[in-house]
């Protein structure tokens, strides 16, 4: 089984958009049968792709950022959100680099083009930490409770789920039938 871990920002975090990241997923998957694994915004992108591509076989999503575009003003606060729009840039923690990085206002604008909660029919396993300060676990609970194709596994963990890597791997192996 081949594994690919593309840089969804293509080395341009400031110019990050949902459309740009979606294009990266599309280019990697090539319309072939795939299993998609994604965390946070990457989980949201995997769900967007699966909603449009029935050849996706399964999804493994870690704290998928469903509804993130509608939570920006609440997460940042109205004042900081307005400042982002006014200045065109926002400093955020970049999980891949482990440091602060600036992202452009284009991310917020482009997100409006995409549905906040993608509807996919493929089998999915969602992992979410009950102590996640970034993506509320309630978003995954609501999704799983209304979709029979989704199994939710909650852990006493934060957003990155690093505390439960072994448990998640074991459940993923079983779900994918590779263990």
- Please give the helix or strand (H or E) that residue 87 lies within, else none: helix 78-87
Question: pTM for the whole thing?
Answer: 0.94
Residue 102 burial class via C-beta count within 10 angstroms: exposed 0-12, middle 13-18, buried 19 and up: middle
- pLDDT attached to residue 179: 73
12 located within any domain? no
Q: How far is CA 115 from CA 49, 50, 89, in A?
A: 12, 13, 23
Give the number of domains in the chain. Answer: 1
- pLDDT attached to residue 146: 97
139 located within any domain? yes
9 located within any domain? no
156 located within any domain? yes
Bridge partners of residue 104, in order along the sequence: 89
What's the domain range around 124?
18-176
Predicted confidence pLDDT, tens digits, the chain (179 residues): 678 899 999 989 999 999 999 999 999 999 999 999 999 999 999 999 999 999 999 999 999 999 989 999 988 999 999 999 999 999 988 877 889 999 999 999 999 999 999 999 999 999 999 999 999 999 999 999 999 999 999 999 999 999 999 999 999 999 999 97
- pLDDT attached to residue 93: 84
8 located within any domain? no
54 located within any domain? yes
7 located within any domain? no
Q: Domain with 136 in it: what CATH number? A: 3.40.50.1820
Give the other-Cβ count within 10 Å of 56's Cβ.
Answer: 23
99 located within any domain? yes
- pLDDT attached to residue 1: 67
């Amino acid at each position: 089984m081949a594994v690919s871990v593309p840089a969804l920002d293509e080395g341009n975090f400031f110019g990050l958009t949902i459309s740009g990241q979606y294009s990266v997923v599309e280019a990697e998957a090539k319309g072939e049968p795939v299993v998609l694994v994604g965390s946070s915004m990457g989980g949201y992108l995997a769900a967007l792709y699966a909603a449009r591509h029935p050849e996706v076989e399964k999804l493994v999503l870690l704290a998928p950022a469903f509804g993130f575009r509608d939570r920006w003003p609440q997460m940042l606060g109205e004042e900081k959100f307005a400042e982002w729009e006014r200045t065109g840039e926002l400093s955020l923690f970049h999980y891949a680099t482990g440091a602060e990085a600036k992202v452009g206002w284009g991310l917020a604008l482009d997100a409006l083009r995409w549905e906040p909660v993608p509807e996919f029919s493929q089998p999915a396993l969602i992992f979410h930490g009950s102590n996640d300060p970034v993506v509320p676990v309630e978003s995954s609970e609501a999704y799983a409770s209304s979709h029979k194709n989704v199994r939710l596994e909650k852990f006493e963990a934060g957003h990155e789920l690093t505390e439960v890597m072994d448990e998640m791997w074991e459940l993923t192996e079983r779900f994918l039938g590779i263990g």
